[in-house]
Structure 1
Amino acid sequence: MNCSRRLTDTLYWVGANDRRIALFENVYPVPRGVSYNSYLLLDEKTALFDTIDQAFTHQLLENVSSVLDGRSLDYLIVNHMEPDHCASIADILFRYPGVKIVCTAKAANMMKQFFEFDVDQYVVPVKEGDTLSLGVHTLTFVMAPMVHWPEVMVTYETTEKILFSADAFGSFGAINGNIFADETDYKNQWLPEARRYYCNIVGKYGPQVQALLKKASRLEISMICPLHSLVWRKDLDWLLEKYSRWSSYEPEEKTVLIAYASVYGHTEQAADAIAARLAERGVPNIAVYDVSKTHPSYILADAFRCSALVFASITYNNGIFCNMETLLHQIAAHNLQNRTVAFLENGSWAPVSVKHMTDTFASLKNMKVLEESLTIRSSLKNCQGDCLEALVDSIFQSLA
């Protein structure tokens, strides 16, 4: 059955929604699923923008065939060669053997790695600023390397001012009927998943995203069509501001994230005490996470939101508790910067986790590690109240 959606008089969404998937990229939980977006533009020539995941190739072909309604497909624009967007390329070629593939030279080389067909026979390579006329519509190609693969480009349609943005401006979550962001309560229902998507998928490449935003600022954009999630036609400045903040590693809020690793509850108790005292001082929207209960992708996303980070870990095998170590590795791998960081350790006989946690952050830029830290021997004692208050005061002052 045709499940395409009309976006403008000439542009159609021809993708699919995956609500069965448990882990995106076999790493990130997606309880609300994910969409694989592909777009078809009709003019004197027709152009398909990217394909979708192999599991939904049949749906893509049915959607494309229905929208074309007997017409041929002239161009396949490949903005990104990740398999959730390129897996159906060979199937499109089999169905439409006269199609030309428009992509970067690096994408063409990757295509040869994924597929057995004669890539050079089909590919029209493009570089920065090249254009392609479809008739009324003209496509301009903008290079976006490392957002988040090296072959990536985005495509700008100059007549209707549409940006086909590859993996930029997407989100986790399947599309539930309402395909435009302005048809949803985006800030409450979608923003946390959009932030989690950005931070985990693209977050490491802030400078490259900044370079793309600079190029985008020179374009008049009326619609953004990402490869995942909702299409944007309103409030584009709000979306661009979020990406500018995330990609420059500037926190969204002056608040605190507290992540703790606790086995028998004593370190958790100390983390709760810190959270309570910060709340008494008026700090809003504090986030507290058990690193053994919550997937690191959620905690990393809140670390991008918050200006101060507190990590509380037991000593385990003479180091950091394993799940805390995983989280800290993910934070370092995603290049987080410009935060205030505080540490708390617990150890019944040889607490050393603060040293190891501090070492993890040594390579990150502009991370202010507070001199105040707190060491617990098995459990937090009343006599340590002054030390706890000193740590809380230092965290609170960093929010000013």
Structure 2
Amino acid sequence: MTDSDNGTRIDEIAEDIYRISTRIPPDAIPGGFTFNQFLVRDDAPLLFHTGPRKLFAMTQGAIERVLPASTLRYVAFSHFEPDECGALNDFLAIAPQAEPVCSRIGAMVCMGDYADRPAHALADGDILSLGHHRLQWFDTPHLPHGWDCGFLSDTTTHTLFCGDLFTQFGDEPPVITRSDILEPSEAARQQLDYYAHGPQTRPLLERLAATAPTTLACMHGAAWTGDGGQLLRALADRVG
């Protein structure tokens, strides 16, 4: 489903998991770009990434095509950055039961000052139950960047919400693909290397690979389906 007025679309990429994507044209960002958020429809709905604050109305409108945005229970993000949580307080304002969800480091360093509501801080390995979906948090400090960084793995659908991993440039990527995304993401990294390249890069990627994801919910570019463990290990070979 696409809003023709602003180019924001929402598509189901796994059972009750929706990719919300807004196109940024090449005249604004060379090569074009997408900002993606992910909505999990469940008893306790969760939004992963808010998008930048200036995209709030577009993201909210996309959510409303699936469920009332006011019913969001959790607003989660990988690390503190405008495209991850820029619109957090806007969503907290319209969803009275919503809690920010982030790492313990994120809650301690950023959310106590930034968020209008106390954060639900997850420790490494913690499970967040939404009803049908069970999400597990993985601390990934400095992968790809940010001391507070972490990712959520949906153990129900084997979907990994992998944030800035596998960032792909492009004006109109497919919603979800089986084609290679490693080389396009490596091309993006060569232009502007956003990895911290810390000593734990390979072990952290191996931990994520061990979850055996079959869907990768990428923050920029197409979502991906296939053997996610193999792809994450291939990424480790390139950056670890």
> Given that residues 213 and 229 in structure 2 are in contact (C-alpha distance below 8 angstroms), is that contact kept between their aligned partners in structure 1?
no
SS at match of 1:12: strand
Instruction: Calculate the TM-score normalised by the size of structure 2.
Output: 0.86
Deviation at residue 57 of structure 1 after TM alignment? 1.6
> Given that residues 209 and 228 in structure 2 are in contact (C-alpha distance below 8 angstroms), is that contact kept between their aligned partners in structure 1?
no
Deviation at residue 87 of structure 1 after TM alignment? 0.8
Cα distance change of structure 1 residues 51 and 235 upon mapping to structure 2, 3 Å threshold = same
Larger RCO (CA under 8 A, 6+ residues apart): 2
Cα distance change of structure 1 residues 171 and 209 upon mapping to structure 2, 3 Å threshold = farther
SS at match of 2:51: coil
Q: Which residue of 1 aligns with 2:214?
A: 222
Q: Which residue of 2 aligns with 1:17?
A: 23
2:146 aligned with 1:149, yes or no?
Answer: yes
Deviation at residue 196 of structure 1 after TM alignment? 3.0
Q: For the residues of structure 1 that align with 2:68 and 2:200, how far apart are their CA atoms?
A: 40
Aligned residues: 231
Q: Which residue of 2 aligns with 1:125?
A: 121
Q: For the residues of structure 2 that align with 1:242 and 1:174, how far apart are their CA atoms?
A: 25
Give the residue type in structure 2 aligned to 1:4: I
Q: Deviation per CA, 1:333-364: give whole Å up to 9, x if none.
A: xxxxxxxxxxxxxxxxxxxxxxxxxxxxxxxx
SS at match of 1:224: strand
> Given that residues 35 and 229 in structure 1 are in contact (C-alpha distance below 8 angstroms), is that contact kept between their aligned partners in structure 2?
yes
Displaced runs of 4 or more, over 4 A = none
Q: Which residue of 1 aligns with 2:223?
A: 231
Q: Which residue of 1 aligns with 2:187?
A: 196
Q: For the residues of structure 2 that align with 1:174 and 1:51, how far apart are their CA atoms?
A: 20
SS at match of 1:60: helix
Q: Which residue of 1 aligns with 2:177?
A: 181
Give the residue type in structure 2 aligned to 1:150: W
Q: For the residues of structure 2 that align with 1:118 and 1:231, how far apart are their CA atoms?
A: 31
> Given that residues 15 and 59 in structure 1 are in contact (C-alpha distance below 8 angstroms), is that contact kept between their aligned partners in structure 2?
no
CA root-mean-square deviation: 2.3
Q: Quote the sequence identity (%).
A: 24
Deviation at residue 11 of structure 1 after TM alignment? 0.8
Instruction: Calculate the TM-score normalised by the size of structure 1.
Output: 0.53
2:130 aligned with 1:134, yes or no?
Answer: yes
Give the residue type in structure 1 aligned to 2:56: T
Cα distance change of structure 1 residues 87 and 14 upon mapping to structure 2, 3 Å threshold = same
Give the residue type in structure 2 aligned to 1:10: D
Q: Deviation per CA, 1:152-184: give whole Å up to 9, x if none.
A: 1100111111111121122222444x21122xx
Deviation at residue 238 of structure 1 after TM alignment? 5.4
Q: For the residues of structure 1 that align with 2:124 and 2:171, how far apart are their CA atoms?
A: 32
> Given that residues 36 and 85 in structure 1 are in contact (C-alpha distance below 8 angstroms), is that contact kept between their aligned partners in structure 2?
no
Q: For the residues of structure 1 that align with 2:69 and 2:89, how far apart are their CA atoms?
A: 20
Unpaired runs of 5+ residues, structure 2, are: none
2:157 aligned with 1:160, yes or no?
Answer: yes
Q: Deviation per CA, 1:207-238: give whole Å up to 9, x if none.
A: 33312212123212111112111111125355
Q: For the residues of structure 2 that align with 1:166 and 1:118, how far apart are their CA atoms?
A: 23
SS at match of 2:223: coil
Give the residue type in structure 2 aligned to 1:166: G
Unpaired runs of 5+ residues, structure 1, are: 23-29, 249-400
Q: Which residue of 1 aligns with 2:110?
A: 110
